[in-house]
Amino acid sequence: MVSGGGMQVLLLGAGGREHALAWKIAQSPLLAALTVLPGSDGMALLPKTHCVPGNAADTAAVLSLAAQIKPDLVVIGPEAPLAAGVSDALRDAGYNVAAPSQAAARLESSKIFSKSFMTSHGIPTADFAIAVTPEDAAQKIALWDVEGAGIVVKADGLAAGKGVVVTHDRAEAIATVDAFMRDPACSVKSDMLLLEEKITGREVSAFALCDGHGFVTIGYACDYKRVNDGDLGPNTGGMGGYAPENWPSTAARTFIEDHIFARVVEGMAAAGTPYCGFLFAGLMIDGDDVNVIEFNTRFGDPEAQILLPMIEDDLLPLLLAAAEGTLEGQNPPQLKSGSAVHVVMTSEGYPETFGTGMRLGEEISLPAEMLAGGSNDNALLFIAGARKDGDTWQNTGGRVLGITATGSNVAEAREKAYAALHRIHFTGAHWRSDIGR
């Protein structure tokens, strides 16, 4: 446990998810100081928070910073440091880390490993085939009822939300294979592909915090992956989402805990790769039928921006318990009643899967009071891809920022979120108008 004087916390990451984590951690009365590598100009405005430039996936840089600040806890937001083994190096150096090891992170970094794990441990998921060459993929797709049942083509590795195509068009499936495996202009590159049965139902993301041998459930969120209204256009890292009200059912939640989260924790421990940190299960629910679409080995983005404002309790004790392996007996965090809605603003040209270019460096008109540490639940602003140049904000990435609002129901939260969003302007700004509708 941590001695008196307050906790020193190190957070790795720079996006909207990390801004939301920093915002929540900074509220803790247990916190002495929060250091973020590399952080953002938005996070730098939070109380007790200091941002340090650098690469969160650079093990040597992270260890050097940790040696300087001697954190009581390290929290890792994005997937790249996990895949690079940063969490392992920190644990080996004696730090408490609320994040999975490189081996455990294969649940996300390799979709093929993940599907094989699910099959081995009786975790419900869609039928699938593995393709190791474009020719192998074409032969397997030829045997598939693409037009009738549909097919999902997934890159094996990390692809920032862009390595998945769902289609009922055989030609599009083959073209996706060629793009992912052969086309140098495509930002998604994969030596192996997962060909997956398309399953139907209502999609939801479930979140748990794990300590290697147990877990507590964090909550549920529904996100919108395609770039345009009506679920049209290419997949993105996420265009927004909401916290569903009174769904999934109590029976479905019990099933998710017993047959998905518990089996992951037990299976990973049995394999000698205990799972610690946030676990994200992307689910498809059809009546009483629950299937796992995928696992992510960190809090979601934009789901963190949806759920963290819903949590009433101090999150820091739970994060420390996860890192120390002492979650047993801890209660899940208390959530506010009602709902939260999060809407993402993106740059023109996003998601830029084929290098078409995005319109960046545009000046953002941003009301100053929206950047005052986020004390107003009607308009919580989380920066994802923007920076300050003097007194001027500019967009620097695809997903620029997001607005979260809470309310007594989805409709009220949605109204507040869009009212706030319409106060922000920059050339080429794009957002979906149907989040939470």
Q: What is the pTM of this model?
A: 0.91
Structural domain boundaries, residue 37? 7-99
Please tell me the total count of domains within the chain. Answer: 4
First to last CA, the chain: 45
Q: Kindly state whether residues 20 and 35 are assigned to the same domain.
A: yes
Q: Kindly state whether residues 214 and 305 are assigned to the same domain.
A: yes
Q: Kindly state whether residues 225 and 276 are assigned to the same domain.
A: yes
Last residue within a domain, chosen from 324, 355, 382:
324
Provide mean pLDDT across the span 143-147: 93
For residue 193, what are the CA distances in angstroms to 62, 119, 140, 180?
32, 17, 11, 8
Provide mean pLDDT across the span 209-218: 97
Q: Kindly state whether residues 208 and 320 are assigned to the same domain.
A: yes
Q: Kindly state whether residues 211 and 315 are assigned to the same domain.
A: yes
Six-digit token string for 88 = 């392992």
In this model, does residue 128 exceed pLDDT 60?
Answer: yes
In 108-223, where do the E strands start and end?
Answer: 128-131, 151-155, 164-167, 193-197, 202-211, 215-223
Q: Kindly state whether residues 279 and 346 are assigned to the same domain.
A: no
In this model, does residue 180 exceed pLDDT 50?
Answer: yes
Q: Kindly state whether residues 350 and 415 are assigned to the same domain.
A: yes
Structure confidence at residue 47 (pLDDT): 93
Assign 335 a pLDDT band (cuts: 50, 70, 90): very high
Q: Kindly state whether residues 185 and 212 are assigned to the same domain.
A: no
Q: Kindly state whether residues 284 and 192 are assigned to the same domain.
A: no
Structure confidence at residue 373 (pLDDT): 57
The answer to whether residue 1 is domain-embedded is no
Provide mean pLDDT across the span 402-407: 95
Give the CATH number, domain containing residue 150. 3.30.1490.20
The answer to whether residue 333 is domain-embedded is no
The answer to whether residue 352 is domain-embedded is yes
Structure confidence at residue 2 (pLDDT): 54
Cβ proximity of 63 and 53 under 8 Å: no
**165: burial class by Cβ within 10 Å (0-12, 13-18, 19+)?**
buried
In 336-391, where do the E strands start and end?
Answer: 339-346, 363-364, 380-383, 386-389
The answer to whether residue 427 is domain-embedded is no
Query: Mind listing the pLDDT tens digit for each residue in 227-238?
Result: 999 999 988 989
d(CA 116, CA 129): 11
Last residue within a domain, chosen from 99, 114, 145:
99
Six-digit token string for 258 = 């017993």
Q: Kindly state whether residues 219 and 310 are assigned to the same domain.
A: yes
Query: Mind listing the pLDDT tens digit for each residue in 347-356?
Result: 999 997 666 6
In this model, does residue 135 exceed pLDDT 90?
Answer: yes
Provide mean pLDDT across the span 324-340: 95
The answer to whether residue 370 is domain-embedded is yes
Cβ proximity of 318 and 330 under 8 Å: yes
Q: Enumerate residues 6+ apart whose C-beta is below 8 A from 207.
A: 217, 218, 219, 220, 221, 278, 279, 280, 281, 299, 300, 303, 307
Provide mean pLDDT across the span 24-38: 97
In this model, does residue 178 exceed pLDDT 70?
Answer: yes
In this model, does residue 26 exceed pLDDT 80?
Answer: yes
The answer to whether residue 111 is domain-embedded is no
Provide mean pLDDT across the span 17-28: 96
Last residue within a domain, chosen from 301, 324, 347:
324
Structure confidence at residue 1 (pLDDT): 46
Query: Mind listing the pLDDT tens digit for each residue in 259-308?
Result: 999 999 999 999 999 999 999 999 999 988 999 999 999 999 999 999 99
d(CA 92, CA 75): 15
Pairing of the two strands 31-38 and 7-13: parallel
In this model, does residue 188 exceed pLDDT 80?
Answer: yes
In this model, does residue 3 exceed pLDDT 90?
Answer: no
Provide mean pLDDT across the span 318-326: 98
Assign 109 a pLDDT band (cuts: 50, 70, 90): confident
The answer to whether residue 227 is domain-embedded is yes
Q: Kindly state whether residues 208 and 192 are assigned to the same domain.
A: no
Q: Kindly state whether residues 206 and 240 are assigned to the same domain.
A: yes
Provide mean pLDDT across the span 337-344: 96
Structure confidence at residue 353 (pLDDT): 66
Provide mean pLDDT across the span 137-160: 89
Structure confidence at residue 414 (pLDDT): 97
Give the CATH number, domain containing residue 80. 3.40.50.20
The answer to whether residue 115 is domain-embedded is no
Mean pLDDT, the chain, as a whole number? 93
For residue 110, what are the CA distances in angstroms to 120, 255, 319?
15, 25, 25
Provide mean pLDDT across the span 399-423: 96
Query: Mind listing the pLDDT tens digit for each residue in 53-70?
Result: 999 999 999 999 999 999
Structure confidence at residue 209 (pLDDT): 98
